[in-house]
Amino acid sequence: MADPRTGGILIEQLRKRYGSGDTAVDALKGVDMHVAPGEVVGLVGPSGSGKSTLLKCLGAVIEPSGGRMSLGGEVIYDDGWKTSDLRVLRRDRIGFVFQAPYLIPFLDVTDNVALMPMLAGRSNDDARRRARELLDALDVGHRAQAMPAQLSGGEQQRVAIARALVNRPPVILADEPTAPLDSERALSVVAILNQMARQYATAIIIVTHDEKIIPTFKRIYQIRDGRTHELTGEETP
Ligand SMILES: Nc1ncnc2c1ncn2[C@@H]1O[C@H](COP(=O)(O)OP(=O)(O)OP(=O)(O)O)[C@@H](O)[C@H]1O
């Protein structure tokens, strides 16, 4: 049987220090975490505990200070970046979903999604076909020609999820993706992320404070003072 730790996201003893000397801040002090392909885990923790720092390291937005990270079975950081082009890594292996959808206001829904495969070198027709398939799967196919401003908040977030998934990255990093949504839409976004994780064998981390969605996670990591702990059932916030 394949080693379940080889795919998805594997983080071992990850450290991040901001600054140096007397003013240094050790934001991550040895984080361990594993998310299998097809799995969605929650990441919770108080303000300043290091959640954003961890997502930025995983998303190759900032450089860790030490430790090891693998995405989709490939070591991307081992006391230094192991990949020569971080831009390509971010484009092809990681999908980002943020609190706000950040759609491009002057492109229609299809082109907002198709832009990603186009940037990865696919033809316009192929990119649009992929975009439409995913928009259909996310139940916003009927709005494919609408402009972002004509969509509801929940529809915009589903388009943002389509954009994160369209290049079929092994990893999705979602930072408070349900914060502006009401209960029903928040639960629907999480259900969609779970379904997409299973369908495309994507490993998904959702950073959240949202009490509406926390009970839906099968596994939750809590980060506190720069270290992660996996919460058991009784400890779940
Ligand atoms: N660029 C930076 N320079 C110095 N210190 C930083 C920097 N970014 C974050 N920090 C510090 O690192 C620690 C972790 O911050 P981080 O933003 O990762 O926390 P967080 O859990 O995402 O918080 P929040 O829930 O408030 O967004 C905090 O003490 C913060 O002040």
28 C-alpha to ligand 1 centroid (Å): 10
Task: Set out the domains of the chain in order of their start, with CATH numbers.
Answer: 37-50+85-235 (3.40.50.300)
**Residue to mutate, 14, 16, 18, ligand 1, most ligand atoms under 8 Å from C-beta:** 18
What's the ipTM?
Answer: 0.97
Q: Which atom of ligand 1 is nearest to the CA of 62?
A: 1
Other C-beta atoms closer than 10 Å to the C-beta of 141 total 16
Contact partners, residue 189, CB within 8 Å, separation at least 6: 154, 157, 158, 161, 177, 178, 181
Range with the lowest mean pLDDT among 65-69, 110-114, 165-169?
A: 165-169
Q: Which atom of ligand 1 is nearest to the CA of 209?
A: 25
pLDDT value of residue 91: 87
Q: Using a 6 Å CB cutoff, which residues line ligand 1?
A: 18-19, 25, 27, 45, 47-53
pLDDT value of residue 233: 61
Question: Model confidence over 77-122: pLDDT tens digits?
Answer: 999 999 889 998 998 889 999 888 999 999 999 999 999 999 999 9
Q: Is the pLDDT of residue 144 over 60?
A: yes
Residue located nearest, by CA, to atom 11 of ligand 1: 27
pLDDT value of residue 204: 96
pLDDT value of residue 3: 46
Residue pair 24/80 in contact (Cβ under 8 Å)? The answer is no
Contact partners, residue 142, CB within 8 Å, separation at least 6: none
Residue pair 144/110 in contact (Cβ under 8 Å)? The answer is yes
Q: Quick one: what percent of the chain has pLDDT higher than 70?
A: 95
Mean pLDDT score of the chain:
91
d(CA 219, CA 186): 18
64 C-alpha to ligand 1 centroid (Å): 14
pLDDT value of residue 1: 39
Residue located nearest, by CA, to atom 12 of ligand 1: 27
Residue pair 36/211 in contact (Cβ under 8 Å)? The answer is no
Residue pair 91/167 in contact (Cβ under 8 Å)? The answer is yes
Residue located nearest, by CA, to atom 6 of ligand 1: 18
